[in-house]
A and B are shown apart, each in its own frame.
Chain A
């Protein structure tokens, strides 16, 4: 009996959830829709979205802001200081709470395709709430922004953001071309608990990391992933072998005091880039993102190359 009643309860619950989802979609349904082809298959999206959820505060949120989409909430982690989130847009539960998202009655959801069945990026379950447009973690930020612009018929906005970044890059390159061409730059975060570095470079398990993307835009040279762990890990005792080749270092400070801890390590102090004062400390985590993080990183590289050229 109890088993039967709990089954009935579950069925009722699922039906209610489905009806609520349907009802919310009906309530928020815009007047016109358009059908777009995505890696998830054909998706019916509103022509003019009114209530957009960005599941990830890095690529999804930045892309939504770049395309002037009306955001009603975002998840994963709080927006970093350089992301212009409008006042009043709430930071939602993290990992995302599907009931909370449902209650916000979104008419469009943006979500990375990193792990469709995970709690953090539940791409496989979100279409039951609202149409979902995915970003592809194997593509560059420009490709993802362009694709989203095409789907939403906002190609012009996407193109302007990408062109703005290209202008910034061209300006930095014009001022530091010689230094950029001859220098090897390492971008890293030092984990003060595990006492190892995580190098942000192309070819690691993290895929398209922003420091490597922006360095590539600049035409700069980074550290090869061949001598690193699968996710760019580098033990302290191998610093000399790998970072000894770097002319300059971009050091990320996640707010955990890691640059201060690293400054006490003898193997760090011995690195040529450190001894020459060619280390630029960058506040916060810039591993993933889109146009805003790209601009922030471009400015950081600008400062670093200025140090090298000085």
Chain B
């Protein structure tokens, strides 16, 4: 560490600071777009007036009661998805790591469908808790299925277990939903990821889980740098591999489970945000985690703003926009990476 030449360290710190500033700037731009765009477009000046308590009463209500809580929800959900994706990718050394791949989305969907269909729980508050519980149980199932018979699960085992548990949950959810479509119609809307829910109800319910996940992620970041070297090397450097993996799993459950509970299943943010950041920043997990959170939030808020503008006065759910926009981005990133590897 101390052998590194001083100018190189300074250059690296400057690079990290610039990257963080760029991510913050992107997030601020996305928030401004989120506050301006919608069925009733407002200029940035009107948005600032409304935030300051000036301008028309209608604009003040739209910005302060509807769009600001929605942007805050997008900020937390997007950051949680970006962070959880980055942690999964690092901990499992799997570049395709994504909360969805840990069965989180499918587990949450199954829990919501079961809760609504079997126990008649259809209130927004109860759906959130059900989704968080389902996401957590599915991630735990993936972890234990992948680790059965081995000391620690390989990335391939985790991926296969994730696909299997996800498919099982998805199939069960579909089966229950088809058995009584009328009843399950009440939760149909929830099964498409969106930020349209009432943030004033949702945020108080999910902030404890997301907050705990954020704190754990900050605690884990330095250890993930060592874990990236491989389990054996990390252990030789004094890292408790099993405990770190357990903490990673808990963090992902809190972050991705909370995010899915708050907004429904949202694709690609957890996969694309860490990839974008990794290309810019290299391998320092502390930088990757911080920037993946900011970029994840910016992606989701931007996708939500785009969805509200494209189909105004209706809206395209943010989960659909992230899939539509995220897929080409991911393909470009994969193509660039593949080109670099084969060059």
Contact = CB atoms under 8 A, between A and B. Distances in A.
Interface stretch (A5-13, A82-90, A107-115, A231-239): A231-239
Contacts of B38: 235, 237
B194 A235 contact: no
B201 to A, nearest CB: 9
Contact of B313 (A77, A233, A267): A233
Contact of A235 (B65, B123, B124, B308): B308
A230 interface: yes
A230 B124 CA distance: 27
Interface stretch (B157-165, B181-189, B278-286, B323-331): B181-189
A233 B197 contact: no
Given A191-B189, A193-B124, A235 B197 contact: no
A235 B190 contact: no
B190 A193 contact: yes
Contacts of A31: none
B314 A196 contact: yes
B182 A195 contact: no
B332 to A, nearest CB: 31
Interface in A181-198: 191-196
A233 B314 contact: yes
Interface range for A: 20 to 34
Interface in A214-262: 227-231, 233-238, 240-242, 256-257, 261
B312 interface: yes
A182 B61 CA distance: 30
Interface in B176-202: 181-182, 186, 189-190, 194, 196-198
Given A194-B196, A235-B39, A238-B39, A230 B58 contact: no
Given A78-B182, A267-B62, A192 B313 contact: no
Given A193-B189, A196-B314, A227-B313, A237 B194 contact: no
Interface in A60-113: 77-78, 94-95
Contacts of A229: 311, 313-314
Contact of B66 (A237, A256, A270): A237
Nearest to B123: A257
A94 B190 contact: no
B314 A266 contact: no
Interface string B39-64: 11000000000000000011001100
